[in-house]
Amino acid sequence: MSTPTTMTATTVVLPAPVSTTGCRDCAGRPAKRIASYSAGDPRALSEADRAAAASGPDAHVHYAARGDRYVAVQPYNGEAR
Ligand SMILES: [Zn+2]
């Protein structure tokens, strides 16, 4: 396939760990890890993106340099939903 990626959610790829203070979508909020995928898997980003899309409008994907993984995260405002 020549077009392997279909973005269904806001995807932010950052060279940073899961708790990313510089992430616009997290905006300084803590984030709960939903799922993570090894970046060595060519489907990892689309799988992570799909996991984020299924979890809510604020969920998005971080790239974690430590471990070389795509991590779907859900930021929250200190109260569980
Ligand atoms: Zn973020």
DSSP string, 20-68: -TT-TTTTT--EEEEEEEETTSTTHHHHHHHHHHHH-TT-EEEEETTTT
Mean pLDDT of 5-33: 67
Cα-to-centroid distance, 4 and ligand 1 (Å) = 23
Where are the chain's structural domains? Answer: 8-81
Q: Left if phi > 0, otherwise alpha if psi is -120 to 50, otherwise beta: which for 32?
A: beta
Cα-to-centroid distance, 2 and ligand 1 (Å) = 28
pTM, rounded to two decimals: 0.70
Dmax over CA atoms of the chain, in Å, equals 42
pLDDT of residue 17: 45
Q: What is the pLDDT of residues 25-81, one digit of tens each?
A: 888 888 889 999 999 999 999 999 999 999 988 999 998 888 899 999 999 886 544
Question: Which is more confident, 16 or 62?
Answer: 62
pLDDT band at 13 (very low <50, low <70, confident <90, very high): low
Cα-to-centroid distance, 3 and ligand 1 (Å) = 25
pLDDT of residue 43: 96
Per the listing, tokens 């991590």 go with 71
Cα-to-centroid distance, 43 and ligand 1 (Å) = 20
State whether residue 3 is helix, strand or coil. coil
